[in-house]
Structure 1
Amino acid sequence: MPELVKNELPIKSNVQKDEVISPWKEAWRSFRKNKLALVGTTIVLFFVFLAVFAPVIAPAGIDDKALVNRLKPPSSENWLGTDDFGRDILSRIIYGARISLWVGLLSVLGSAVVGSFLGILAGYYGRWIDTLISRVFDIMLAFPSILLAIAVVAVLGPSLQNALIAIAIINVPNFGRLIRSRVLSVKEEEYITAAKAVGMKDSRILLHHILPNSMAPIIVQGSLAIATAIIEAAALGFLGMGAQPPNPEWGKMLADSKQYLIQAPWTMIFPGLAVMLTVLGFNLMGDGLRDALDPKMKQ
């Protein structure tokens, strides 16, 4: 009887291994699919580009006066016209991007660091520490933010640096309460309980476990807070409590041009558009980050 030969062929499986994607990589993929977020990011990068390369891009200096060209309308020589001192408005807006972005980024960074530290302490330790910090936040939030900023600048004195400090102070409660609520949720997770069971120090738990798992809301809040900080800096500058002359801060440019609204409207229109576009860019980017990083927003 002939021997049966059995051909053993490899069986191809249609089951593919699931690709392991990190949460940050998945968030980046989701962010790239959001067209409005990409538009906002493009606007932000455009103004960052202007701020970084201002000395190369700007056609004139920030305080190059020429009274003969006073209140000159937009032309091929001065694309956005000139102000009441004959200074090129385009150049001042370009240099003003440095000031607005600098104030926005540094003030939000300071408020995020201080607010996150206080929020982590309040949420993790609780009891009287939580009560004390939360009541301080409640008192600060009871005042309108711009009035609190004016009060701080009035005590410290009008200047760009003091305006930055004031904006940082008024944004601390927003970060603190946000991180406190996040910590209250994270500290109940099993891996935190396990870390405590093996005798891990509180400082290590806070730095290596709780803080990294609370970064997503900090990033989202930070991107949105920069837009608010730029508006607040412009408001303080408009009131004469922010950047002082001849610094080309956008709010100060609006204040100096308000009396020429009818005679030379371009002196107010273009600085106002700069503020609007920058704030719009950060808001769109912040909304995109929230949609990408918040699990509740994902479908």
Structure 2
Amino acid sequence: MSQSVQNGAAKDLVKEKGPLASALTDFWRAFRKNKPAIVGAGIVLFFIVLAVFARFIAPQGINDQNINIRLEPPSAQHWLGTDDFGRDIFSRIVFGAQLSLRVGFLAVIGSIIFGTLLGVIAGYFGKFIDTVISRFFDILLAFPSILLSIAIVSVLGPSLNNALVAIAIVNVPVFGRLVRSRVLTVKEEEYIVAARSIGMGNTRIIFNHILPNSFAPVIVQGTLNIATAILDAAGLGFLGMGAQPPQPEWGTMLSASRQYITNAPWTVLFPGLAIVLVVVGFNLMGDGLRDALDPRMKN
């Protein structure tokens, strides 16, 4: 009898896992057909590997200076040349990947957490709460993102961590409005009405039904916003309001080298190329995720 019960439980477990495995298989099948998305994912993976293994990949330390080889062009010794302090640009770009990806991921994660929380509250409970939260989103969206980021960093003080906080705050309404619109649709579905009718609490309904059915577009938007966050961090670094020297953040490297653009263009070219590649990679991957997760894009 015990053996029969165990077999029945095992069969139930297989049935529960079946739809998830099928959904993942369908997602991967749709995603891999999108060649630009695969290229984007490859670029992102490349920079993640650089960031994770920077200590082993970089041939020199980020602040190892040798004034005798300052502004040296790319060579076998220094693959991407040296900057005005004789520091190896390749090593600084590799370690800069850690800073840029950290800002991108942490800023977006923070935006998703607070934006989702506010969006769910506004969309699910509605009425006065919805009005207050929606007007808060409108106020934040009324300012250009880079100007609002500059204003926040001006109050907090220029640093990479404060730039991260500013970028996270600026992106909260993006996710908040996205989640709110999804919640407004999902909460009117029949299974939500049925859950309320049997006495299920609001917390269980939100976490068991609302959020799981509203999170796919958040994943797509989050991937796209990582690129935006990295770009904003580079912009703040270029203006001197983000990472501070001698941190090897790509925007800060551009700012420090802009005066050498005519006689040592490699000091500007390679940090700028790193920014372009990682932003393009996240955008291509985000487009692929959107196409793979959106049922309207499927045949």
The 2-side partners of 1:296 and 1:130 are apart by 28
1:127-158 alpha-carbon deviations (Å, 9 max, x no partner):
00110000010010000000000000000000
Shift, 1:38, TM fit: 0.6
Segments of 5+ residues of structure 1 without an aligned counterpart are 1-18
Post-superposition offset of 1:295: 1.3
What CA distance in whole angstroms lies between the structure 1 residues aligned with 2:230 and 2:124?
A: 32
**Alignment size in residue pairs:** 281
Q: 1:105: Cα distance to partner?
A: 0.1
Q: Residues of 2 paired with 1:78 and 1:236: CA distance?
A: 28
The separation in 2 between residues aligned to 1:195 and 1:24, in whole angstroms, is 27
| 2:240 counterpart of 1:234 | no
- 2:224 equivalent to 1:224: yes
* TM-superposed deviation, 1:185: 0.6
- Matched ranges for 1:149-298 at <5 A: 149-298=149-298
2:99 is aligned with 1:99: yes
1:24 aligns with 2:13: no
CA distance in 1, matches of 2:66, 2:120: 55
Q: Distance in 1 between matches of 2:185 and 2:266?
A: 51
Shift of 1:33: 1.2
Cα displacement (A) at 1:22? 3.2
Per-residue CA deviation, residues 42-92 of structure 1 (Å, 9 max, x unaligned), is 000000000000000000001000000000000000000000000000000
Give how far 1:214 is off.
1.0
Which has the larger share of helix? Answer: 2
The aligned amino acid for 2:161 is Q
Please list the CA deviations of residues 17-55 of structure 1 after superposition, one character each: whole Å capped at 9, or x if unmatched: xx9663333122101111111100000000000000000
After TM superposition, the runs of 4+ consecutive aligned structure 1 residues lying more than 6 A away are none
**One-letter amino acid of the structure 2 residue matched with residue 118 of structure 1:** L
- Structure 2: which amino acid aligns with 1:293? L
CA distance in 1, matches of 2:209, 2:47: 36
Letter aligned with residue 265 of structure 1: P
CA distance in 1, matches of 2:103, 2:297: 30
Percent identity reads 67
> Aligned to 1:64, what secondary structure does the other structure show?
coil
Q: How does 1:73-92 map to 2 (within 5 A)?
A: 73-92=73-92
Q: Which amino acid aligns with 1:85?
A: F
Alignment match, 2:109: 109
Q: Supply the distance in 1 between the matched residues of 2:92 and 2:101 (Cα, whole angstroms).
A: 14
Distance 1:263 1:240 in 2: 23
In structure 1, the partner of 2:3 is none
- SS of 1:188 mapped into structure 2: coil
3-state SS in 1 of match to 2:213: helix
Distance 2:80 2:66 in 1: 15
TM superposition shift of 1:297: 1.7
5+ residue gaps in structure 2? 1-17
User: For 1:264, what is the secondary structure of its paired residue?
Assistant: coil
Distance across 2 between alignment mates of 1:200 and 1:231: 44
C-alpha RMSD of the superposition: 1.0
Structure 2 distance, partners of 1:137, 1:148, is 13
Encode CA deviations 1:213-264: one digit per residue, 9 max, x unaligned.
1110110000000000000000000000111111100000000000000010
Distance in 2, Cα, partners of 1:95 & 1:182: 39
TM-score by length of 2: 0.93
